[in-house]
C-alpha cells in the first residue's frame, strides 16, 4: 500500500488503470506471483497486474487515492513516511466504524471468546460472524490485519490476548 501511495505522489496519471501501469513499470517484487507456464513446464515468477489492481482498489476504498489515481488529503498525509501507519490505522478504524464495527464491542467479543470454556480463538471469521458488520468477510479480515501492522492492535503469543485501539 505504501508503494501505491509513493507512486501516486510521484507521477501524474488520469485514472487508476494508469496508476496500476506506472506501478507495474517499476517492477516492485511485492507484487510478484508464481504461475504455471505449460509451454516451459515450470513455474514462473512475474508481476501480477491483478495484485496491483487489488491493492490500488483497497487504497481507494480507504480513501488514500481517488478515481483519477491522485492522492487524497489522507493519501498526501500518508505519503509522509512518519505518518503512513498512523493515517492507515485511522482510515481503517473509520471504515470499520462505517461498517458498524465498534472497537470496544469487538474487544468485548475477543475477551469473551478467550475466557470461554473451552476458549475460542477470536479469528477474523469468528469476529465477523459475531459482529455481523456491513463489510464483506475478506475486507474485514484485511482491515484487522492492517490494524495490527499499523500498531493499532495488541497481541501476544506468550499470554494469549488480542485487542484494538
Q: What is the 3-state secondary structure (H, E, C) of 50-119?
A: HHHHHHHHHHHHCCCECCCCCECHHHHHHCCHHHHHHHHHHHHHHHHHHCCCCHHHHHHHHHHHHHCCCC
**Mean pLDDT computed over 128-137:** 95
Q: What is the predicted pLDDT for the residue at 100?
A: 96
Domain tally, the chain: 2
User: For 42-78, what is each residue's pLDDT tens digit?
Assistant: 999 889 999 999 999 999 999 999 999 999 999 999 9
Measured distance CA(75)–CA(125) in Å, rounded = 29
11 and 66 part of one domain: yes
pLDDT of 159 strictly over 70: no
Considering the domain architecture, whether residues 58 and 117 belong to the same structural domain is answered as: no
In the DSSP assignment, the letter for residue 31 is: G
**What range defines the domain where residue 120 resides?**
101-164
Of 79, 114, 133, which one is at a domain's C-terminal end?
79
Domain boundary at 14, 44, 79, which? 79
Say how far apart CA 61 and CA 63 lie, in whole Å.
5
Compute CA 163 distance to the chain's CA centroid, rounded to the nearest angstrom: 18
Of the pLDDT bands very low, low, confident and very high (cuts 50, 70, 90), residue 152 is confident
Any domain includes 127: yes
* 112 and 57 assigned to the same domain: no
Which tens digits make up the pLDDT trace of 2-15?
A: 999 999 999 999 99
Q: Does some domain include residue 137?
A: yes
Amino acid at each position: 500500500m505504501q508503494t501505491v501511495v509513493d507512486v501516486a505522489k510521484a507521477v501524474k496519471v488520469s485514472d487508476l488503470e494508469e496508476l496500476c501501469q506506472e506501478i507495474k513499470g517499476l517492477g516492485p517484487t511485492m507484487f510478484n506471483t508464481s504461475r504455471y507456464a505449460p509451454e516451459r513446464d515450470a513455474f514462473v515468477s512475474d508481476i501480477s497486474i491483478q495484485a496491483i489492481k487489488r491493492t490500488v482498489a483497497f487504497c481507494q476504498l480507504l480513501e488514500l487515492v481517488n478515481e483519477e489515481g491522485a492522492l487524497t488529503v489522507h493519501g498526501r498525509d500518508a505519503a509522509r513516511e512518519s505518518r503512513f501507519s498512523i493515517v492507515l490505522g485511522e482510515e481503517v478504524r473509520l471504515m470499520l466504524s462505517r461498517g458498524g464495527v465498534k472497537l470496544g464491542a469487538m474487544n468485548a467479543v475477543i475477551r469473551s471468546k478467550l475466557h470461554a470454556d473451552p476458549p475460542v480463538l477470536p479469528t477474523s471469521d469468528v469476529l465477523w460472524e459475531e459482529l455481523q458488520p456491513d463489510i464483506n468477510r475478506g475486507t474485514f479480515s484485511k482491515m484487522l490485519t492492517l490494524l495490527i501492522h499499523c500498531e493499532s492492535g495488541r497481541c501476544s503469543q506468550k499470554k494469549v490476548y488480542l485487542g484494538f485501539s
